Amino acid sequence: MLASRLVVCLDVTEGRVVKGVNFRNLRDIGDPVELAASYEKGGADEIVFLDITATLENRDTLFALIERTAQRLFIPLTVGGGLRSTEDALRALGAGADKVALNSAAVDRPGTISEIAERLGRQCVVVSIDVARTGNEWRVVTRGGRTATERTAAEWARECEARGAGEIVLTSIDRDGARTGYDIELTSAISGAVNIPVVASGGAGAPNHIVDVFQQTGAQAALVAGVLHDGLFTVADIKREMKNAGLLVRAA
């Protein structure tokens, strides 16, 4: 039985960690290097570092900042934002990342997933899927939630797996920053559609929300951000509740 992973997300822009609601109204949280080290010390299982404006600004990700962050960590580090090619992925891994996350670039050119997986191995390839509900469907959106696509979430998740993705980070834009709990229906649907790990993201507001997503869906990991950044709960608080609910967790 695999441990249920608790993943802390650092959304970064202009070298600072930020957080908003529904990908909007961003506010400054702090220095990514110090925050990553603090969350590792607190018991986080993994860190996800997302340069959330790299694609919008059509620039490379912040490789120097990634390197400084990676130097402080012993837990896995996933890096995303502005990665468009195998060369970008190699630069990220060279800077210390363990995995690379693709989002808009994968939707724009799905072959990117296969190219990176074939070169580096699918264990390195994460596809970050941002989803918004449109009527009775979940549609994939890109560029920080600003661009709608015609792809449905389940269809795209299955294609990502077929092309070589080793993991999916699934974010409900409707729940992002709202702290009302993960979208259980969405997470159940996508984790049931693929055979690779799904990381639930968007909506964590309390430790019981993390317990719920593990107990009610097939997610293998849960991503948290704002409730930790604002000091409402600690990683240890969340893991204690997970353990009390009977989930297998790594010690915090």
Sign of CA dihedral 165, 166, 172, 178: negative
In the annotation, is 183 catalytic?
Answer: no
CA distance 20 to 25: 5
Helix (H, G, I), strand (E, B) or coil at 94: helix
In the annotation, is 237 catalytic?
Answer: no
154 contacts 189 by C-beta, under 8 angstroms:
yes
CA distance 8 to 77: 10
Q: Out of 45, 51, 98, 130, which one is annotated catalytic?
A: 130
Secondary structure letter of residue 3 according to DSSP: P
**Contacts (Cβ under 8 Å, ≥6 apart) of 225:** 8, 9, 10, 11, 19, 204
77 contacts 44 by C-beta, under 8 angstroms:
no
Q: Out of 11, 88, 98, 176, which one is annotated catalytic?
A: 11
Indicate the residue type of 244. N
Q: Residues with catalytic annotation?
A: 11, 130
